[in-house]
């Protein structure tokens, strides 16, 4: 799969515009062989960095790109990083929510409502990783 602009700049999809700008400036300096001149056309990586920056630098074009990315991911089926048994998640009785730490120290959270609606894919609230929650559907309670 083609690298996303975020991957080219090596930033999270939730990065702030300051973080993106900082990354861009760092990267382009490293890929800029001639600081006074323009980037050579045959420097593929520098071209990719410039293209990524061009899209992510303004909120409007970034938003359009995000929508395009989301559509692309839907077409390809969301990338699932791992499958987690519901029993292995922590349950919060107050919020009726199952949750789990992501390796980025973000959180995956899924509510009982989500589960009842058949939702089983959860995004991290901090990075772009997703997990699939495995659980048995309990059909009707006979009590
Ligand atoms: Zn994460």
| CATH code: domain of residue 48 | 1.10.287.110
Domain membership of residue 143 (yes or no) is no
| pLDDT above 60: residue 55 | yes
Q: What local confidence, expressed as pLDDT, does residue 139 receive?
A: 58
| pLDDT above 80: residue 43 | no
Q: What is the CATH number of the domain that holds 100?
A: 3.10.660.10
What is the CA(16)–ligand 1 centre distance, in A? 16
Query: Mean per-residue pLDDT for 5-20?
Result: 93
| pLDDT above 90: residue 106 | yes
**Domain match, 92 and 119 both:** yes
**Domain match, 71 and 86 both:** no
Q: What's the whole-model pTM score? A: 0.50
Query: Mean per-residue pLDDT for 81-92?
Result: 92
| pLDDT above 90: residue 112 | yes
**Domain match, 86 and 112 both:** yes
* C-alpha span between 88 and 38 (Å, rounded): 53
What is the CA(140)–ligand 1 centre distance, in A? 34
What is the CA(71)–ligand 1 centre distance, in A? 21
Q: Which domain holds residue 24?
A: 5-76
**Domain match, 93 and 72 both:** no
**Domain match, 105 and 54 both:** no
């Amino acid at each position: 799969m083609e690298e996303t602009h975020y991957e080219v700049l090596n930033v999270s999809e939730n990065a702030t515009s300051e973080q993106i700008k900082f990354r861009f400036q760092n990267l382009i300096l490293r890929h800029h062989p001639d600081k006074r001149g323009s980037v050579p056309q045959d420097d593929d990586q520098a071209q990719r960095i410039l293209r990524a920056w061009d899209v992510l630098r303004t909120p409007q074009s970034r938003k359009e790109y995000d929508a395009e990315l989301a559509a692309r991911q839907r077409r390809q089926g969301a990338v699932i990083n791992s499958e987690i048994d519901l029993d292995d998640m922590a349950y919060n009785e107050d919020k009726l929510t199952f949750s789990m730490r992501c390796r980025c120290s973000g959180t995956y959270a899924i509510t009982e409502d989500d589960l009842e609606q058949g939702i089983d894919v959860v995004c991290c609230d901090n990075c772009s990783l997703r997990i699939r929650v495995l659980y048995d559907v309990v059909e009707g309670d006979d009590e």
